[in-house]
Every structure is written in C-alpha cells, then in structure tokens.
Amino acid sequence: MTKPAIGKKVRDRSLSLTFTINAPVAKTFDAITTRKGIASWWTPIVSRTVAAGKEFQLGFEGLDEKIRIRIDEARRPQSVRWTVLIHSGLPEWNGSRITFDLIGSGPRKTILQFRHHGLVPQLACYGECKAGWDHFLDSLASVAMGQPGSPFGK
C-alpha cells in the first residue's frame, strides 16, 4: 500500500464558474431555493416544493425531458447542494451534483461559486451544457438583481 503524496492535488475537472452578482446574498439565495425563483431563471415548469430534504422536478415546454433533483442542503444564505436523480434527456447528469456557494461581498454584492460535479469535458454534452449553464446563470444573476430572467422557452 502506498501513501498519497503530500501536497498532491487531485484535479476536479467538473464545470466550475465563479462570478459576482450585483445583488444581496439573500436575494441570490432565494432565487436558487424557491419555486418562483427557479421558474424565473431556469424553466417555468417547476413541480413540488423546493425545500431541503425534498425533491423537485423540472420540465421544459416542447421537449419530452424532465429533470428530478434532490435538495441535499440549503443553508441560508451561503450554500445550496443538489443531486440530479434523473435527467431523461441527458443521462450523463444522473447522479451528478450541483453546488452553489454564495459569499456576501458588501451589502449589494454576491460572489457565486457554481460547480456541476460530474459534468466533465469528456462528456459529449459538455459544450452544450456549459453554454446552457452560462445562459441560465446569467439569467439567475438578472433575477437576483430584480430584473427579468430568461428561463427556458422565453
């Protein structure tokens, strides 16, 4: 048995994005953790209650795709952890984890550290999914700032 090298880093090549939102951290957290919030930036079709320990489902008008997500953690206002249980259109997402870490940077700024663990460049869907996350996270930022989002289908 060999010991791991001290100081050796394991490279996590999951999709990771960090950016600043000009909105209070509480508003950003609410946009990620409420049914109305998610409907305003990702997709208007959100079923069930969005609460820690629960599951919710997303639908996409005109597509025969559904995503079922379990909310593993929602610690106000600093972190949200989801596990994708089923993505009917992209099975590569099944079992992947999505994390949002929020850091307040003054009264009207949030640093959002987003990571989709398991969404790696080797997957065929990576480019399309990264473009999708770029779009929907910009939409999330707009909603947190009190502006209209651009969820799927709008």
Q: Is the pTM of this model over 0.95?
A: no
Q: Look over the chain and give the mean of its residue pLDDT values, rounded to a whole number.
A: 92
pLDDT of the residue at 1: 40
pLDDT of the residue at 12: 64
CATH number of 16-144: 3.30.530.20
DSSP letters of the chain?
-PPPPTTPPPP--SEEEEEEESS-HHHHHHHHHSHHHHHHHT-SEEES---TT-EEEEE-TTS--EEEEEEEEEETTTEEEEEEEEESS-GGGTT-EEEEEEEE-STT-EEEEEEEET--TTSTTHHHHHHHHHHHHHHHHHHHTTS----TT-
**pLDDT > 50? residue 8:** no
Q: What is the pLDDT of residues 23-42, one digit of tens each?
A: 999 999 999 999 999 999 99
The stretch 127-133 carries a mean pLDDT of 97
pLDDT of the residue at 22: 97
**pLDDT > 80? residue 149:** yes
pLDDT of the residue at 51: 87
